[in-house]
Structure 1
Amino acid sequence: MGISGRIAAAFQSSAMTPLLALIALLLGLMAIAVTPKEEEPQIDVTFADVYIPFPGASPREVESLVTNPAEQIVSEINGIDKIYSFSQPGGAMIVAIFEVGIPRNEAVVKIYNKLYSNNDWMPANMGVGQPIIKPRGIEDVPIVNVTLSPKSDSASLEEITSVAHGLETELKRIPGTRDIYTVGRQPTIVNVRLDPAKMSGYGVTIDSLNQMLPDANSASPMLALTQDNQSIPLQIGEFLTNVDEVKQLVVGLHDGQPVYLSDIADINLGIDTPTQVVWTSHKSDIKPAVTIAIAKKSGENAVDVAKAVDERLGELESTLIPDNIQVDVTRDYGQTAADKANTLIGKLAFATGAVVLLVLVTMGVREAVVVGVAVIITLLLTLFASWAWGFTLNRVSLFALIFSIGILVDDAIVVVENIHRHMMKGKQKLAELIPGAVDEVGGPTILATLTVIAALLPMAFVSGLMGLI
């Protein structure tokens, strides 16, 4: 008897067989419950924005003194795929794109080490600042967008921006969220318009203001005053918190009297010029709005994070969110990921059920149960292995499972049909004929499966983005 028959006989007579089947069933069900669901597979496509400030320099000066040397250094990093650079007034922007598959942390460490170990390339004493590195990847794409808009004209964009900042703080407390930012906000700023005539009259210069204003808006570290065997903590200075404090800043002396900033400038609280604008439409009524974008941590379940965000927004209604502000979830990748995953799981169940029904009609109940149990347990074990390996439930992985059902069902039907044929002869008992029947078709079935694997094996050597997918 060949290896297929011996394996069948060993599992047939072993008391561990039903226990192993039960363990496989439980592991698969656990994997379905805990495996993160996503719309797309998580792929390491890391790139980094490197901004190098050069205040006061023209684009041509930035290109020759900063951009070209920085490009040369970044290009020497192992794993760099492409580099894009932009020379602009006041600084250079370099976009370094790493090869697909390089982990984010490894890419960040490489670019930091390369830039900061080659600081000597920067022109000395010319005002070139330290590089600012912002790594980016596929996990930076928001999974939830929450748009705030006025229900009536009573809510201004300044009020909506303030509410959005409060929501940012609350939403950051949700486990699994990573990067939360506001788009279309209108921040308030203090406008200071200096009057040259008044400055000349009070003897205040621009240089003196540049020195005094930063010092006035700072606080020293905690100091200790020791006296009579006692240590008294002291803190010198404080940050400015409102426009009145700005007006009362002392910027000089004139005729023995203090000169306040309000004496030489017009100071008022205003709105900064927005760099991004958001509009929303409610039944053809277009209104300005503010959007909060929420990204998740790598490996987190997009469905759970999106659901937690929605629940938290419901809790904040009429407390942090006023009644005159409309809250709409304009992007919910968690819901779309759940819908697509559930749809594909339904298709998987339908395909399995159709095969079991076909076997039931053509062979009988016992054969249909055997095929159904074999297919289900194998699929559940595959899902458990996928979870243990770090994969997620997404369109690609579920499509692969549906594709594999054809091979799985074909093998099961061939083996069961041969057992059924021997049963129809009636010469042996079922327990006696199973090893021989399995041995007859075991070798060809294994070879047929290996042939399919060999046909698909070249896909494992595809490089780049398609290879990882």
Structure 2
Amino acid sequence: MLFSVFVSFMVTPWAAVRLLHRSLTPQRAYRNLFARGPFKRRVAEKQPAPHSAHHHETWMDRLYRRIMRPLIVRPVYRYGFLCGVTLLLLASCMLVPLKLVMVKMLPFDNKSEFQIIIDMPEGAPLEQTAAVARDIAEYVRTVPEVTDIQTYIGTASPYNFNGLVRHYFLRRGGNVADLQVNLAPREARTRQSHDIAKAVRPNVQAIAERFHARIKVAEAPPGPPVLQTLVAEIYGPNYSRQMELARQVRDIFDRTAGVVDVDWYVEDDQTKYVFAVDQEKAALNGVSVAHVQTTLQVALDGMNTGLAHFPKEKEDVPITLRIARAQRSSLEDLKAIKVQGRQGNSVSLGELVRIEEVVQDKSIYHKNLMPVVYVTGDVAGAAESPVYAMLSLMPGVGAIKLPEGYAFEQRLTTQPPTMEKFAMKWDGEWHITYEVFRDLGIAFAAVLVLIFMLVVGWFQSLKTPFVILAAVPFSLIGILPAHWATGAFFTATSMIGFIAGAGIVVRNSIILVDFIELRLTQGMPLAEAVVDAGAVRFRPMLLTAAAVVVGASVILSDPIFQGLALSLMAGEVASLLLSRMAVPILYYLLMRR
């Protein structure tokens, strides 16, 4: 920025004098070069004030003057134009609550892969999980854009963005599986990866339901670094009651249209058999409790007894001692295992233990030292933004009745301060979206305050900055309809484009106001000065907008930066057309007295 200022103030005037000498006389070049600063008064004394420049105008300038003069002179036209601009701005902003423009943190990218996560009920055998993965893989192979599939059963797939953010790399056990689906290059297919993933989800879900499995179709990258697109966190004083409330919330997720891949961080009930050693019988048979524990550990988990050294192996191979699977597959098999006492006698485990059937304890998750139950989901309906899915879910969640006698509180941005009452916090992509747009809004407000202070210092007026900054919202008249026309999400990159374009809008307004005041110092009447500014300074404003449009057009086709391009292009075009007329009118209204 500093280098561009140096070029515009030093290099450009020098180059204009040197290179444009054929089209400019030395006197005109001198006057154009020193028309500002300490030389302005001296040059103005030598040259009469140019009240008009009609002999250099184009048909666009003449048309502009013909339109602007009635707007300045006639109050009906003037206020009618300002009311029309205000209505356009309100109508553009209404596109968001009407869901014609969707607000989202980041748009969907077009990658060459996606992932299918399979979760069987806890305790399901590895063979059944493999059968589910095989059936899903056979269906996915029928999709034309799919080139190959890797299946990982009982373990996690190699590290990727999904695994790091959503903790998939921690998955282990016979009830889990991952399918890594690779697609053809984007140049060789017409559908984006998001459309393909969205299309295969219903059939994959139907296959999973036959086996009572839950699946998640995860795109890479899935978006912001969150656990899932939709996350409901249930807090409270009793973890069992938290799980009951989480089950109700999960059922609401399942019933809500557009919410898919619903799951929760609670294991299914698993039967656990506790072998309680009868110490009196064990003592009579000369068997210690530790001996019984070691025998069961060897039978079920095995025991490393040493290392085998093979000449063709790079590393030593561990030797694990374990009873054959056929002899440890049922309780009767385990009860028949013999244990040797101190006197050399053999006694079966069934004579020494008492088997108790209980439910295995479930995992307890914590967030900021508070016990929490997570309910997760994704969005894949007409409104693929978590904000609108939350609006559909909140009435159902709010209708949950607590026997404790108080309302089930829903919090949007912060955790409950205590665990005394049951409450729920919305998290996931919504929380990141809220924080990003909140921080961008605060930064934008701070920038506007700084611009206001700078303009006040430069123009020595408290009225002028309001005229200059009034043109900033005009860009929304172009930005929001452009997102609606192209079907694009209004994302964080769109907001960044709006903020970046606001700087150019302010620059155009400053150009107009500065030229108006220059004409006023040269003796031109206010009504003529405001019209003359829009006519004469339109060309640099037009060239600036054209440069922005051309520069942003190269990223218009990118899925991530499309919002940035739309905001810059449509915002600059709209503000150029409207600020050229609105700023002079507002300046005239404030300064005419």
TM-score (norm 1): 0.58
Q: 2:150 is matched with which residue: 85, 110, 131?
A: 85
| C-alpha distance 360-171 of structure 1, shift in aligned 2 (>3 A) | same
Shift of 1:422: 0.9
Secondary structure in structure 2 of the residue aligned to 1:385: helix
Q: 1:8 is matched with which residue: 64, 81, 84?
A: 64
Query: Does residue 430 in structure 1 map to residue 526 in structure 2?
Result: yes
Q: Give deviations 1:165-202, integer Å, cap 9, x for gaps.
A: 233224555676444321223336799xxxxxxxxxxx
> How far apart are the structure 2 equivalents of 1:420 and 1:190?
86
Query: Does residue 375 in structure 1 map to residue 472 in structure 2?
Result: yes
Shift of 1:304: 5.8
Q: How does 1:38-57 map to 2 (within 5 A)?
A: 38-43=104-109, 47=114, 49=116
Query: Does residue 443 in structure 1 map to residue 542 in structure 2?
Result: no
Retained in 2: the 8 A contact 1:176–1:305? Answer: yes
Retained in 2: the 8 A contact 1:143–1:296? Answer: yes
Q: Give deviations 1:237-259, integer Å, cap 9, x for gaps.
A: xxxxxxxxxxxxxxxxxxxxxxx
Which stretch shifts more, 399-408 or 384-393?
A: 384-393
Q: 2:88 is matched with which residue: 19, 24, 27?
A: 24
Aligned residue for 1:223? none
- Higher share in strand: 1
2:263 alignment partner AA: Y
> How far apart are the structure 2 equivalents of 1:414 and 1:459?
29
2:94 alignment partner AA: M
> How far apart are the structure 1 equivalents of 2:505 and 2:268?
58
> How far apart are the structure 1 equivalents of 2:144 and 2:440?
41
| C-alpha distance 175-412 of structure 1, shift in aligned 2 (>3 A) | farther
> How far apart are the structure 2 equivalents of 1:464 and 1:340?
19
| C-alpha distance 141-105 of structure 1, shift in aligned 2 (>3 A) | farther
Shift of 1:406: 2.0
1:404 alignment partner AA: G
> How far apart are the structure 2 equivalents of 1:373 and 1:456?
24
> How far apart are the structure 1 equivalents of 2:259 and 2:527?
56
| C-alpha distance 149-415 of structure 1, shift in aligned 2 (>3 A) | closer
Secondary structure in structure 2 of the residue aligned to 1:459: coil
Q: How does 1:59-78 map to 2 (within 5 A)?
A: 77-78=144-145
> How far apart are the structure 2 equivalents of 1:178 and 1:56?
26
1:292 alignment partner AA: V
Secondary structure in structure 2 of the residue aligned to 1:319: coil
Retained in 2: the 8 A contact 1:146–1:327? Answer: no
Query: Does residue 362 in structure 1 map to residue 447 in structure 2?
Result: no
| C-alpha distance 414-144 of structure 1, shift in aligned 2 (>3 A) | same
| C-alpha distance 306-183 of structure 1, shift in aligned 2 (>3 A) | same
Q: 2:434 is matched with which residue: 338, 345, 356?
A: 338
| C-alpha distance 291-50 of structure 1, shift in aligned 2 (>3 A) | closer
Shift of 1:360: 4.1
Query: Does residue 318 in structure 1 map to residue 378 in structure 2?
Result: no
Secondary structure in structure 1 of the residue aligned to 2:94: helix
Which stretch shifts more, 2-11 or 133-142?
A: 133-142
Q: Give deviations 1:358-387, integer Å, cap 9, x for gaps.
A: 334433456434322222222454244335
* Greater Rg by CA: 2
Shift of 1:102: 0.7
Q: Tell me the matched-pair count.
A: 362
Aligned residue for 2:192? 102
Unaligned runs of 5+ in 2: 1-56, 72-76, 119-125, 155-173, 204-210, 274-355, 409-418, 565-593
Aligned residue for 2:347? none
Retained in 1: the 8 A contact 2:89–2:476? Answer: no
Q: 1:421 is matched with which residue: 518, 523, 526?
A: 518
Which stretch shifts more, 436-445 or 96-105?
A: 96-105
| C-alpha distance 441-29 of structure 1, shift in aligned 2 (>3 A) | same
> How far apart are the structure 1 equivalents of 2:86 and 2:526?
23
Shift of 1:109: 4.8
> How far apart are the structure 1 equivalents of 2:228 and 2:467?
45
> How far apart are the structure 2 equivalents of 1:36 and 1:146?
22
1:2 alignment partner AA: T
Query: Does residue 412 in structure 1 map to residue 497 in structure 2?
Result: no
Secondary structure in structure 2 of the residue aligned to 1:352: helix
| C-alpha distance 33-342 of structure 1, shift in aligned 2 (>3 A) | farther
Secondary structure in structure 2 of the residue aligned to 1:291: strand
> How far apart are the structure 1 equivalents of 2:265 and 2:515?
65
1:318 alignment partner AA: L
Greater relative contact order (Cα < 8 A, sep 6+): 1
Q: Give deviations 1:276-304, integer Å, cap 9, x for gaps.
A: x4422675x8x6x6421243455355446
Secondary structure in structure 2 of the residue aligned to 1:404: helix
Retained in 2: the 8 A contact 1:177–1:296? Answer: yes
Shift of 1:353: 4.4
1:341 alignment partner AA: F
Query: Does residue 454 in structure 1 map to residue 550 in structure 2?
Result: yes
| C-alpha distance 44-87 of structure 1, shift in aligned 2 (>3 A) | closer
Retained in 1: the 8 A contact 2:106–2:560? Answer: no
Query: Does residue 395 in structure 1 map to residue 459 in structure 2?
Result: no
Query: Does residue 142 in structure 1 map to residue 223 in structure 2?
Result: no
Retained in 1: the 8 A contact 2:141–2:148? Answer: no
RMSD: 5.3
| C-alpha distance 146-19 of structure 1, shift in aligned 2 (>3 A) | closer
Q: Give deviations 1:185-243, integer Å, cap 9, x for gaps.
A: 3336799xxxxxxxxxxxxxxxxxxxxxxxxxxxxxxxxxxxxxxxxxxxxxxxxxxxx
| C-alpha distance 344-32 of structure 1, shift in aligned 2 (>3 A) | farther
Identity of aligned residues (%): 14
Secondary structure in structure 1 of the residue aligned to 2:228: coil
Shift of 1:407: 1.8
Shift of 1:421: 1.0
> How far apart are the structure 2 equivalents of 1:47 and 1:357?
50
> How far apart are the structure 1 equivalents of 2:216 and 2:435?
33
Retained in 1: the 8 A contact 2:271–2:359? Answer: yes
Shift of 1:94: 4.2
Retained in 1: the 8 A contact 2:229–2:386? Answer: yes
Q: Give deviations 1:406-435, integer Å, cap 9, x for gaps.
A: 2222222112211221122223x3333444
